[in-house]
Amino acid sequence: MAERQIGNYIILKQIGVGGMAKVYLATHKDVPNLKVVLKVLSNSQHADRFMQEADKLALLDGNPNICQIRHFFEHEDELVIAMEHIDGLSLEEMIEREGSFSIPEVLKIITDLLAGLAPAHSRQIYHRDLKPGNIMFDKGGVLKIIDFGIAKGKADPQMTIVGTATGTPEYMAPEQFTGGEDLDYSKCDIYAVGTLLYRLIAGELPFKGDNEFVLRDAKMFDEPPVPSSLREDISREFDDIILKAIAKDPEARFSSIDEMRTELLRRSTGQDDVGGGPAPETMAAVVPEPIAPDPPTSKKQPEIPRTSRAVAGGDGRNGKRGFGKIAGTVIGVAFVSAVAIFGLRVLFGGVDAPPGGDRSDTILEPGATMADTTVSEDIVPSGDGADPISPPPPDAEPGRAESTTGAERPAVREEPVARVVEPGILLVSSRPGFAAVFINGERQSELTPFSFERPPGQYTVRIVKVVNGQERVHTETVTVTSDKTTKVSHNFEQ
């Protein structure tokens, strides 16, 4: 049997067929190891939509989580899209094979999916048919979103007949069943991601129906089971995120893909800047629970010195009472001695300051002169009307003013509460992929494309790839900010 060739590509096998196109696995005739997926338009009525898909893929070129377009051409009056071949499994196949997923695995899948959708949504491009079959993972574990066949841009013309539905019923938002020109497709994508999250967590879909109409009515009028009722290790916080994503009212859902991803990351790391509760137990395996800072110690009672307890004897209360008596006696003796010494110095005219002493900060009473004042090394004056010659308590540090009133206690410095800084995402990609990555001179074990979590700051990223026997290097310095994705990408093929 003769090989079939489309353009410069030799067909290996057919891998899919749909209402708009047939899909083939092919290899380049001159580069046998270059495999691509060819999507060949089979219905000319969908030519505009087909070209729209190619255009959307071109706009999203460079996004490591979206299947890349390689070529668009015409062959024997047929339109053809050549796309990146992803050698791996779809999420649908993984669900069938694995059955269930751990909480960290689910969070990784969903946050990567949201990270891939965010740049598309920022360009007002919406997928409209997100489901496990349209999500794949390559051999490196990188998530790839495929099949933008019914993707729609905000400014694109309406190609669906009003009143008809687009998408897969199990993952469609309630409002998608009726269609219309005023749909907010960003909220439709959020609903689909929420439904996928529900299925991965609970092991089943939130709504079931034998046909499209039963499923539509269930989504419009019924309430789904709370996920934690189907799986014991689900927290209330996780319930809230899932149910918010699949709310019947589009306005009650997350306002954006970024908001949903930020909320999932915040819940997974236990960080809640809006006064929420502690991290759910089910999230603890993702990132260790942050160590809570010690509470402020400004109200902590001063501990009785060991020497005081030894003198007082007995329990803490008796020790404090004994210490008070001893301290009072010592203070009284010191006060009488100070008064006697001061009187003798005044009597014999010895009121000069110590040699080299500085009186510049001495406060004089009205009508007094410097000869009428003295500051002793053992007597520290205090403000607020306190006795200017009252001695410090026995355990006070030399030269440090202390209050001697029973109502006041030694001030304890209040430790500042450490503020946890949210990390940012440093997304490094290249064409071709599998390039080495150096961050601030340190080689990373992961190859491109990969998302690195880094604290906010400036980073020098170096991407190294051998192309046609030559080592090519791209260096770029970027600033990572909290809760944001910073991208470094380079095309070595240019």
Question: 172, 167, 174: which is closest to 195 by C-alpha?
Answer: 172
The Cβ-side half-sphere exposure at 161, using a 13 Å CA radius, reads 3
Return the pLDDT at 123: 85
What is the per-residue pLDDT across 239-293, written as a single tens digit (0 to 9) for each?
999 999 999 999 999 999 999 999 998 876 654 442 233 333 333 333 333 334 4
Residues linked to residue 324 through DSSP beta bridges, in sequence order:
none
**Cβ neighbours of residue 149 under 8 Å, at least 6 residues apart?**
18, 20, 21, 49, 50, 53, 129
Return the pLDDT at 447: 83
Q: Which residue has the tokens 């000069």?
A: 352
Which of 265-269, 286-290, 357-361, 381-385 is the least confident region? 286-290
Q: Would you put residue 225 in left (φ > 0), alpha (ψ -120 to 50) or beta?
A: beta
Distance in angstroms (rounded) separating the CA atoms of residues 475 and 459:
11
**Cβ neighbours of residue 264 under 8 Å, at least 6 residues apart?**
107, 110, 111, 114, 241
pLDDT score of 160 more than 90: no
pLDDT score of 157 more than 60: no
**Cβ neighbours of residue 321 under 8 Å, at least 6 residues apart?**
312
Residue 408 sits at φ, ψ, to 5 deg, of: -100, 145
Contact of 39 with 148, CB cutoff 8 Å: no
What is the per-residue pLDDT across 306-341, written as a single tens digit (0 to 9) for each?
333 333 334 443 444 444 444 555 455 555 555 555
Pull the structure tokens for residue 159: 């190609």
Return the pLDDT at 415: 60
Residue 165 sits at φ, ψ, to 5 deg, of: -100, 150
Strands 424-431 and 485-491, how do they pair? parallel
* In 121-235, beta strands by DSSP E: 125-126, 135-138, 143-145, 152-153
* In 42-106, beta strands by DSSP E: 69-75, 78-84, 88-90
Distance in angstroms (rounded) separating the CA atoms of residues 455 and 480:
7
Q: Give the chain's length.
A: 494
pLDDT score of 128 more than 90: no
- What amino acid occupies position 44? S
Question: 214, 207, 202: which is closest to 248 by C-alpha?
Answer: 207
Q: Which residue has the tokens 């999203």?
A: 60
Distance in angstroms (rounded) separating the CA atoms of residues 382 and 403:
8
Averaged pLDDT, 28-35: 91
Asked about 129 being catalytic, the answer comes back as yes
What is the per-residue pLDDT across 465-481, written as a single tens digit (0 to 9) for each?
888 778 899 999 999 99
Helix (H, G, I), strand (E, B) or coil at 74: strand
Sheet holding 485-491, edge to edge: 450-454, 424-431, 485-491
Question: 158, 166, 189, 311: which is closest to 257 by C-alpha?
Answer: 189
Q: Confidence band (pLDDT; 50, 70, 90) for 303?
A: very low
The DSSP output letter for 175 is G
Q: Would you put residue 384 in left (φ > 0), alpha (ψ -120 to 50) or beta?
A: left
Distance in angstroms (rounded) separating the CA atoms of residues 53 and 75:
18
Return the pLDDT at 287: 30
User: Residue 81 CA to chain centroid, in angstroms?
Assistant: 36
Q: Which of 48, 77, 129, 358 is catalytic?
A: 129
pLDDT score of 122 more than 50: yes
Peptide bond between residue 354 and the one before it cis (omega within 30 degrees of 0):
no
Residue 243 sits at φ, ψ, to 5 deg, of: -70, -30
Q: Is the pTM of this model over 0.75?
A: no
Averaged pLDDT, 23-31: 92
Q: Confidence band (pLDDT; 50, 70, 90) for 100?
A: confident
Angle between helices 257-269 and 185-202 (to 10 degrees): 30
Question: 291, 298, 294, 327: which is closest to 312 by C-alpha?
Answer: 327
Long-range contacts of 287-292 (CB under 8 A, 24+ apart): 290/420
Which of 64-68, 391-395, 457-461 is the least confident region? 391-395
Cβ atoms within 10 Å, residue 344: 10
Per-position b or e across 129-139, b if 16+ CB within 10 A of its CB: bbbbbbbbbbe
Contact of 135 with 113, CB cutoff 8 Å: yes
Residue ranges of domains in the chain, CATH in brackets: 5-84 (3.30.200.20), 89-153+161-283 (1.10.510.10), 424-491 (2.60.40.10)
The DSSP output letter for 421 is P
Helix (H) or strand (E) holding 98: helix 91-98
Contact of 134 with 147, CB cutoff 8 Å: yes
pLDDT score of 40 more than 70: yes
Distance in angstroms (rounded) separating the CA atoms of residues 322 and 34:
89
